Amino acid sequence: MPITDDARDLFLPAACASCRSASAAGFGLCPDCAADLAALRPLLAAPAVRGAPPVVAAGPYAGTLAEALNEYKERSRRELAPALGALLGRALAVVAAEVPGAVLVPVPPTRAARRARGFDHVAAACAAVPGRPPVHACLRALPRPDSVGLTPRGRLAAATASLRARPRAAAALAATGAPAILVDDVVTTGATLHAAARALAGAGVAVPAAVCVAAA
């Protein structure tokens, strides 16, 4: 980031994380962009990878939502967590009645991704879901290649090799008999959700559905 950008961020009000042309009035967004997010309605995603759990996304990966999500992830705009958590809450409301007693299991970043961002962005959004069910961090992610440019089959292979259940945490969840709803930021092919569901199933945890902030 240029030094001039750093100076601007220090001495001027934070710009809206989406349009960047207005000051952020609260939670990182200007009133107009906040209204754009508020107008979104959940949609049923259609993962290309067969066997992925049904996925409800808060909105399409486009426009205001895509810009805000990228700022949240890539520039560590943590103040956006409440706005994104509210969107996840709407997606969760679509599936919650069909999955009583479910808990949330966020898809984890790799250690390198978390170090680069400075936080676990999916877990932070999960924690901001209003009235959310319990969150169980029972997955871990081993190093994996960047999925950009990979085929759906390549994405699935990379995700399957990376995602693992945390033995003790997953066993404790399995002992309760509670189903898990996976949570991720963006669903594209569904490879990551398929791999995560498979890892949990191997530990005895059922995954009947998933929710995401956006569907690409």
Tell me: the pLDDT tens digits for 153-192?
899 999 999 999 999 999 999 999 999 999 999 999 999 9
The 8-class DSSP code of residue 5 comes to H
12 band by pLDDT with thresholds 50, 70 and 90: low
Question: How many CA atoms, within 13 angstroms, populate the side-chain half-sphere of residue 170?
Answer: 21
The 8-class DSSP code of residue 188 comes to S
Tell me the C-alpha distance between 171 and 80, whole Å: 33
| Contact between residue 119 and residue 150 where contact means Cβ atoms under 8 Å apart | no
The domains of the chain are located at: 41-215
At a CB cut-off of 8 Å and minimum separation 6, what does 35 contact? none
Give the pTM. 0.92
| Contact between residue 119 and residue 85 where contact means Cβ atoms under 8 Å apart | no
End-to-end CA distance of the chain: 27
Residue 10 has pLDDT above 50, yes or no: no
Task: List the single range of 68-72, 146-150, 151-155 with lowest mean pLDDT.
Answer: 146-150
| Contact between residue 107 and residue 193 where contact means Cβ atoms under 8 Å apart | yes
Chain centroid to CA 150: 20
| Contact between residue 64 and residue 74 where contact means Cβ atoms under 8 Å apart | no
Identify any residues that bridge with 186 across adjacent strands, giving them in sequence order: 214
pLDDT tens-digit map of 87-123? 999 999 999 989 999 999 999 999 999 999 999 999 9
Q: Using alpha carbons only, what angle is made at residue 75 by residues 69 and 81, rounded to the nearest 5 degrees? A: 50
Residue 7: how many CB atoms within 10 A of its CB?
A: 10
Instruction: State whether the Cα torsion 62-153-204-100 is positive or negative.
Output: positive
Amino acid (1-letter code) at residue 72: Y
Tell me the C-alpha distance between 32 and 102, whole Å: 34
